[in-house]
């Protein structure tokens, strides 16, 4: 019995050796060789996936493969243009865009310090003439307000990282950037609608006519002190109008492409649309600096037209002499008293005159 038990134990031991230990002995030389190779050669790559994607990027075969997903660019594993677009945005759009806006603002400031505000010779007389109706002024202000809002939010997204993060910190800037992105996308279509309103309101008066080129060559009277003849809109105002319409349409179309990525355009189209959108926006923002300057601190009496719809007749004679002559011929000039009545200043004017009479009586 004892010999039989030992034979049974021996057979189990031989089975264990053949099943478990013997395969390990054959595997050990390969394992030791791999370990020695790793120790001698070192780790070739920390992330095995990096070498895979490097080969994918640098492959000579076609960049479009086969996929069961049916959509635009679904067969493109890696977009080779994305890195170029990202570098172009950081190294050119942000840097040169900021330099352009700062340069334009600096030139306007230097011009103002050198020339000062352009005054009307002899001053404004108070006699007014109607220039813009309510629809024209509403169209102007809707477009102006929406444009300024989009300019601020857009520049926050473009320039906020290098300019605002050092001032506000990452957390505050992330909230501001998120709000700017959502509101920018929301009000973008409103800009297109206001652009169409602007086109309908002023297109007839902004057709180029004889004498406009002369106005342009003389700088609109800003260079020197010679008078430059102009109609209802001069060459500068017409050029600004068409710049707003045409560049504004480019901004609107490229913006719609960016906010509607599911309409079928690929990633390359989106990248090009982003570049066009930013460049066109910087151009329009830069020119808007000059428009705002001329309407406020640049020339005397210009801003009144979009506030009340009326302008001083002497301002019209200085900047739009041909139109001012038509206003005189058609007897459209009203006195300061009539203008005050139209503006609802009758009571205040009457009270002021009564107090003056009482002072004289005393």
Q: What's residue 22's pLDDT?
A: 44
Task: Tell me how long the chain is.
Answer: 362
Give the residue numbers spanning the domain of 227: 98-353
Q: Is residue 151 part of a domain?
A: yes
Q: Is residue 198 part of a domain?
A: yes
Q: Is residue 25 part of a domain?
A: no
Do 249 and 195 form a contact (C-beta atoms < 8 A)?
Answer: yes
Cα-atom radius of gyration of the chain, to the nearest Å? 37
Q: What's residue 53's pLDDT?
A: 65
The pLDDT averaged over each successive group of 10 residues in the chain (362 residues) is 48 48 45 45 58 62 59 66 83 92 95 88 91 95 97 95 91 95 95 96 90 73 65 90 97 94 81 94 96 90 92 92 93 92 62 42 40
Count of domains forming the chain: 1
Q: What's residue 312's pLDDT?
A: 94
For residues 195 and 246, what is the distance between their CA atoms, to the nearest angstrom?
Answer: 10
Which residues lie below 8 Å from residue 289, measured CB to CB, with a gap of 6+?
Answer: 101, 104, 105, 108
Q: Is residue 255 part of a domain?
A: yes
Give CA separation, 224 vs 148, 179, 217, 312, in Å.
32, 47, 12, 23
Q: What is the pTM for the complete model shown?
A: 0.75
Structure tokens at 228: 């430059």
Structure tokens at 210: 């004889």
Q: Is residue 271 part of a domain?
A: yes
Residue 211: how many CB atoms within 10 A of its CB? 15
Q: Is residue 360 part of a domain?
A: no
Reference 276, options 258, 256, 250; nearest CA is 250
The SS3 assignment for 312 reads strand
The SS3 assignment for 71 reads coil
Q: Is residue 80 part of a domain?
A: no
Residue in the block written with tokens 């506000």? 168
Reference 187, options 255, 275, 263, 283; nearest CA is 255
Q: Is residue 51 part of a domain?
A: no
Do 75 and 267 form a contact (C-beta atoms < 8 A)?
Answer: no
The SS3 assignment for 197 reads helix
**Could you report how far apart the first and last alpha carbons of the chain are, in Å?**
150
Q: What's residue 140's pLDDT?
A: 96
Query: What CATH number does residue 181 fall under?
Result: 1.20.950.20
Reference 82, options 119, 107, 53, 122; nearest CA is 53
């Amino acid at each position: 019995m004892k010999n039989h038990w030992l034979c049974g134990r021996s057979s189990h031991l031989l089975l264990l050796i053949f099943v478990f230990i013997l395969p390990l002995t054959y595997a050990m030389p390969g394992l030791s060789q791999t370990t020695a190779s790793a120790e001698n050669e070192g780790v070739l790559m920390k992330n095995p996936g990096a070498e895979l994607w490097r080969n994918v990027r640098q492959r000579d075969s076609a960049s479009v493969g086969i996929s069961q997903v049916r959509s635009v660019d679904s067969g493109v594993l890696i977009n080779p243009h994305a890195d170029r677009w990202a570098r172009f945005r950081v190294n050119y759009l942000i840097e040169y865009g900021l330099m352009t806006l700062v340069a334009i603002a600096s030139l306007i400031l230097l011009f103002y310090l050198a020339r000062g505000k352009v005054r009307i010779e002899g001053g404004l007389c108070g006699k007014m003439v109607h220039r813009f109706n309510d629809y024209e002024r509403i169209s102007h202000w809707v477009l102006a307000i929406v444009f300024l809002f989009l300019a601020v939010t857009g520049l926050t997204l473009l320039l906020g990282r290098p300019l605002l993060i050092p001032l506000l910190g990452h957390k505050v800037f992330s909230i501001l950037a998120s709000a700017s992105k959502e509101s920018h996308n929301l009000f973008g279509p409103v800009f297109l609608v206001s652009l169409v309103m602007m086109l309908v309101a002023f297109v007839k008066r902004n057709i180029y006519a004889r004498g406009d080129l002369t106005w342009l060559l003389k700088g609109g009277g800003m260079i020197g002190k010679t008078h430059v003849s102009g109609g209802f809109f001069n060459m500068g105002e017409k050029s600004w109008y068409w710049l707003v319409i045409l560049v504004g349409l480019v901004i609107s179309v490229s913006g719609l492409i960016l906010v509607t990525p599911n309409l079928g355009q690929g990633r390359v189209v989106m990248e090009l649309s982003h570049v066009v959108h930013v460049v066109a926006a910087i151009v329009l923002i830069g020119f808007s600096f000059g428009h705002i300057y001329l309407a406020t601190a640049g020339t005397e009496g210009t801003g009144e037209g979009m506030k009340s719809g009326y302008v001083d007749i002497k301002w019209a004679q200085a900047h739009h002499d041909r139109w001012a002559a038509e206003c005189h011929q058609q007897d459209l000039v009203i006195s300061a008293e009539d203008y005050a009545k139209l503006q609802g200043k009758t009571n205040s004017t009457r009270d002021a005159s009564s107090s003056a009479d009482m002072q004289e009586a005393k």
